[in-house]
Amino acid sequence: MVSAFFRTRLRKVRKIFEEEVRTLKRLESPYILRMYGICIDEKGSIPEYSIVMEYCEKGTLREVLKKEPGLSWEIRTEMASDAAAGLYRLHQVGDKGQLHRCINSTNFLVAKGYCVKLSGFKLEQTESSISGKCKEKTPKEVASSAYICPEGLASVNHPYSKASEIYSFGIVLWEIATGKIPFAGCTSEEIYEKVHRQKYQEPLGEDCPSFLQEVINQCRDYEPSKRPSAEVIVNQLLVNQEQAS
């Protein structure tokens, strides 16, 4: 017999799931991973929730950059523009916009034609509510702290904002431009020392187009107020693409 506590918990899980689905529907865009449908199987004692998502054949952005180091600047710029368009769409949802909170190169997927789509809208809260415990995570190729803004490294209590997210996106753009792993081999303590204390920015290659260098450095600015909005980034990249064509 199902207890009242368990029934309450199941109702909460379903509510979270439905809220996540509504969020995904609001985010419909060519630059955000598309949701095709949902399935709720309530035959067993514990309901099973599934979401059918768009398939991106090339895998994550991190995987593509690792497998194809010789990508042209035209393709890299288009990938950067697509990624920025996805983030811009996210930041425009609702009255105040929505934050992803986990911007990194594994949460952008690459489809046919090197079209980049923002993903990573995981139902972690739903999963943990059902299982009651966190799933074991595989080791990450890139340290999570590599994407944390200076003010976030300085204090775990710093309020996360769009400016925080733009810094993370700047690291992703740096990866697109260099193909490298950000702060490779550095510990979290070493990243804190470099980024927060020394105001260090990893260098870009001399062959990186000047307009792309400018966008990336603006995103990684130490001062949050000096970082551009996602809309500004999209416009800067589009203008330069049009001039190059």
What is the domain partition of the chain in residue ranges? 56-120+137-244
> Over the Cα atoms of the chain, what is R_g?
19
Which CATH superfamily hosts domain 56-120+137-244? Transferase(Phosphotransferase) domain 1 (1.10.510.10)
**What residues have CB less than 8 Å from 55, skipping those under 6 apart?**
111
Query: How far is the C-alpha of 125 from the C-alpha of 118, rounded, in Å?
Result: 20
Q: By the 8 A CB rule, do 220 and 170 touch?
A: yes
**Interval 75-105: pLDDT, tens:** 999 999 999 999 999 999 877 788 999 999 9
- Please tell me the pTM assigned to this model: 0.86
pLDDT score, position 15: 81
Query: How far is the C-alpha of 3 from the C-alpha of 144, rounded, in Å?
Result: 39
- Residue 86: C-alpha distances to residues 4, 13, 31, 168 (Å): 42, 28, 5, 14
**What residues have CB less than 8 Å from 228, skipping those under 6 apart?**
166, 215, 218, 219, 236
Residue ranges for the chain with pLDDT beneath 70? 1-2, 122-139, 244-245
Tracing tokens 């980034």 back to the chain, one arrives at: 233
Q: What is the DSSP letter of 32?
A: B
Token couple for 136: 């074991």
Beta-carbon-side half-sphere exposure of residue 184 (alpha carbons within 13 Å) = 7
**Interval 114-152: pLDDT, tens:** 999 999 875 444 433 333 333 434 457 888 999 999 999
